[in-house]
Amino acid sequence: MLRLLLVITKWLFTEELMTVRLDSTIDVKLADDDLFLLNMHKDSNKGSWILIQVEGSKPGKRYGHSMSFKDGSIFLFGGADDTEVKNDMWVLNILQVPFNWHRVEFSGAIPSKRFYHCSIACNEYNTKDILIIFGGLNASKTCFNDMWILSNKSTWSLVKYKDEGIARYQVNVL
Protein backbone atom coordinates (compact mmCIF):
# COMPACT_ATOMS: atom_id res chain seq x y z
CA MET A 1 0.00 0.00 0.00
CA LEU A 2 1.15 3.47 -0.81
CA ARG A 3 1.04 5.80 2.17
CA LEU A 4 0.73 9.50 1.47
CA LEU A 5 2.80 11.46 3.94
CA LEU A 6 3.12 15.09 4.74
CA VAL A 7 5.98 15.58 7.11
CA ILE A 8 5.77 18.79 8.98
CA THR A 9 9.31 19.84 9.64
CA LYS A 10 8.77 21.25 13.07
CA TRP A 11 9.19 19.73 16.51
CA LEU A 12 5.88 19.83 18.30
CA PHE A 13 4.23 18.12 21.22
CA THR A 14 7.36 17.78 23.37
CA GLU A 15 9.77 16.64 20.68
CA GLU A 16 7.43 14.49 18.63
CA LEU A 17 7.65 15.06 14.91
CA MET A 18 4.15 15.79 13.70
CA THR A 19 3.32 13.86 10.56
CA VAL A 20 0.02 13.64 8.78
CA ARG A 21 -0.80 10.36 7.12
CA LEU A 22 -3.75 9.99 4.84
CA ASP A 23 -4.46 6.32 4.20
CA SER A 24 -4.67 5.39 0.53
CA THR A 25 -3.83 2.54 -1.78
CA ILE A 26 -2.89 2.42 -5.44
CA ASP A 27 -6.18 0.76 -6.40
CA VAL A 28 -8.38 3.04 -4.25
CA LYS A 29 -8.06 6.75 -4.96
CA LEU A 30 -9.96 8.22 -2.02
CA ALA A 31 -7.97 8.86 1.13
CA ASP A 32 -9.59 8.60 4.55
CA ASP A 33 -9.83 11.84 6.45
CA ASP A 34 -8.19 10.32 9.53
CA LEU A 35 -5.26 12.14 11.10
CA PHE A 36 -2.23 10.29 12.49
CA LEU A 37 0.79 11.31 14.56
CA LEU A 38 4.10 9.51 14.08
CA ASN A 39 5.64 8.90 17.51
CA MET A 40 9.30 9.96 17.40
CA HIS A 41 9.96 9.75 21.16
CA LYS A 42 12.92 7.62 22.20
CA ASP A 43 10.74 4.99 23.85
CA SER A 44 9.33 1.56 23.06
CA ASN A 45 6.57 3.10 20.89
CA LYS A 46 8.98 5.01 18.62
CA GLY A 47 7.96 4.69 14.99
CA SER A 48 4.34 3.82 15.71
CA TRP A 49 1.38 5.71 14.23
CA ILE A 50 -1.18 7.14 16.67
CA LEU A 51 -4.69 8.01 15.50
CA ILE A 52 -5.51 11.61 16.47
CA GLN A 53 -9.13 12.27 17.38
CA VAL A 54 -10.61 15.17 15.41
CA GLU A 55 -13.96 16.62 16.45
CA GLY A 56 -16.62 18.24 14.31
CA SER A 57 -16.78 18.52 10.52
CA LYS A 58 -14.01 17.07 8.37
CA PRO A 59 -12.91 17.74 4.76
CA GLY A 60 -14.16 14.31 3.70
CA LYS A 61 -12.52 11.58 1.65
CA ARG A 62 -10.63 12.90 -1.37
CA TYR A 63 -7.54 12.53 -3.53
CA GLY A 64 -5.31 14.90 -5.48
CA HIS A 65 -5.53 17.58 -2.78
CA SER A 66 -2.63 19.56 -1.35
CA MET A 67 -1.64 20.07 2.26
CA SER A 68 0.76 22.72 3.57
CA PHE A 69 1.89 23.71 7.04
CA LYS A 70 2.43 27.19 8.51
CA ASP A 71 2.37 28.65 12.01
CA GLY A 72 0.88 25.57 13.67
CA SER A 73 -1.86 25.07 11.08
CA ILE A 74 -2.37 22.54 8.29
CA PHE A 75 -3.99 23.97 5.15
CA LEU A 76 -5.83 21.52 2.89
CA PHE A 77 -6.92 22.75 -0.55
CA GLY A 78 -8.93 21.24 -3.38
CA GLY A 79 -8.76 17.66 -4.59
CA ALA A 80 -11.56 15.43 -5.81
CA ASP A 81 -13.93 12.80 -4.50
CA ASP A 82 -16.18 10.29 -6.28
CA THR A 83 -18.47 13.01 -7.62
CA GLU A 84 -16.68 16.31 -8.04
CA VAL A 85 -13.47 18.32 -8.18
CA LYS A 86 -13.16 20.81 -5.33
CA ASN A 87 -11.70 24.24 -4.57
CA ASP A 88 -12.47 24.33 -0.87
CA MET A 89 -9.99 25.06 1.89
CA TRP A 90 -9.87 23.51 5.35
CA VAL A 91 -7.57 24.53 8.20
CA LEU A 92 -6.56 22.47 11.23
CA ASN A 93 -4.79 24.19 14.12
CA ILE A 94 -2.57 21.46 15.59
CA LEU A 95 -1.58 23.59 18.57
CA GLN A 96 -5.12 23.74 19.95
CA VAL A 97 -6.80 20.70 21.50
CA PRO A 98 -9.36 19.36 20.79
CA PHE A 99 -8.44 19.25 17.10
CA ASN A 100 -11.08 20.69 14.76
CA TRP A 101 -11.03 21.21 11.00
CA HIS A 102 -12.54 24.55 9.94
CA ARG A 103 -13.78 25.20 6.42
CA VAL A 104 -12.63 28.61 5.19
CA GLU A 105 -15.17 30.69 3.27
CA PHE A 106 -13.90 33.26 0.77
CA SER A 107 -15.50 36.14 -1.08
CA GLY A 108 -14.17 37.49 -4.35
CA ALA A 109 -11.98 35.61 -6.82
CA ILE A 110 -10.84 32.13 -5.85
CA PRO A 111 -8.84 29.44 -7.66
CA SER A 112 -10.83 27.17 -9.97
CA LYS A 113 -11.74 23.68 -8.84
CA ARG A 114 -8.65 21.49 -9.23
CA PHE A 115 -6.80 18.38 -8.22
CA TYR A 116 -3.18 17.17 -8.56
CA HIS A 117 -1.99 20.76 -8.07
CA CYS A 118 0.79 21.78 -5.72
CA SER A 119 0.85 24.17 -2.82
CA ILE A 120 3.47 25.61 -0.56
CA ALA A 121 3.20 27.67 2.59
CA CYS A 122 5.36 30.78 2.86
CA ASN A 123 7.21 30.53 6.15
CA GLU A 124 9.95 33.10 5.70
CA TYR A 125 10.21 36.72 6.80
CA ASN A 126 6.77 36.89 8.49
CA THR A 127 5.16 37.24 5.09
CA LYS A 128 1.47 38.06 4.91
CA ASP A 129 1.20 35.66 1.96
CA ILE A 130 0.55 32.30 3.52
CA LEU A 131 -0.10 29.89 0.65
CA ILE A 132 0.71 29.54 -3.04
CA ILE A 133 -1.24 27.16 -5.32
CA PHE A 134 0.03 26.21 -8.78
CA GLY A 135 -1.24 24.11 -11.68
CA GLY A 136 -3.33 20.98 -11.42
CA LEU A 137 -6.17 19.54 -13.46
CA ASN A 138 -9.81 20.51 -13.82
CA ALA A 139 -12.72 18.05 -14.06
CA SER A 140 -12.14 17.51 -17.80
CA LYS A 141 -8.44 16.82 -17.05
CA THR A 142 -7.17 20.02 -18.70
CA CYS A 143 -3.95 21.33 -17.12
CA PHE A 144 -3.90 24.68 -15.39
CA ASN A 145 -1.02 27.12 -15.80
CA ASP A 146 -2.10 29.54 -13.11
CA MET A 147 -0.69 30.54 -9.76
CA TRP A 148 -2.72 31.88 -6.85
CA ILE A 149 -1.53 33.48 -3.62
CA LEU A 150 -3.59 33.48 -0.43
CA SER A 151 -2.86 36.56 1.69
CA ASN A 152 -3.91 37.22 5.27
CA LYS A 153 -5.87 33.93 5.32
CA SER A 154 -8.68 35.63 3.44
CA THR A 155 -7.84 37.03 -0.01
CA TRP A 156 -6.84 35.10 -3.15
CA SER A 157 -4.86 36.88 -5.89
CA LEU A 158 -4.05 35.53 -9.34
CA VAL A 159 -0.38 35.96 -10.26
CA LYS A 160 0.14 37.57 -13.69
CA TYR A 161 2.86 36.01 -15.88
CA LYS A 162 4.96 37.87 -18.41
CA ASP A 163 5.24 34.76 -20.58
CA GLU A 164 2.70 31.99 -21.11
CA GLY A 165 4.74 29.23 -19.45
CA ILE A 166 3.81 25.57 -19.41
CA ALA A 167 0.82 24.03 -17.65
CA ARG A 168 1.68 21.35 -15.08
CA TYR A 169 0.09 18.90 -12.71
CA GLN A 170 1.45 16.50 -10.10
CA VAL A 171 4.43 18.76 -9.44
CA ASN A 172 6.23 19.55 -6.19
CA VAL A 173 7.64 22.75 -4.82
CA LEU A 174 10.21 23.39 -2.11
Taking the C-alpha atoms of residue 165 and residue 143, their distance in angstroms, rounded to an integer, is 12
* Contact indicator for 145, 168 with CB cutoff of 8 Å: yes
Region 75-89: what's the mean pLDDT?
A: 93
Per-residue pLDDT, 97 = 87
Query: What is the share, in percent, of the chain residues with pLDDT greater than 90?
Result: 33
pLDDT at 40: 82
Residue pLDDT, tens place only, 22-51: 444 444 456 677 888 788 877 887 888 888
pTM across the whole model: 0.76
The residue among 120, 108, 117, 171 whose CA lies nearest residue 142 is 117
Q: Averaged over 118-137, what is the pLDDT?
A: 81
- Model confidence at 123: pLDDT above 60: yes
All structural domains of the chain: 3-158 (2.120.10.80)
The CA distance from 29 to 64, in Å, is 9
Instruction: Name the DSSP letter for residue 164.
Output: -
As a whole number of angstroms, the longest Cα–Cα distance in the chain is 55
| Cross-strand partners of 40 | none
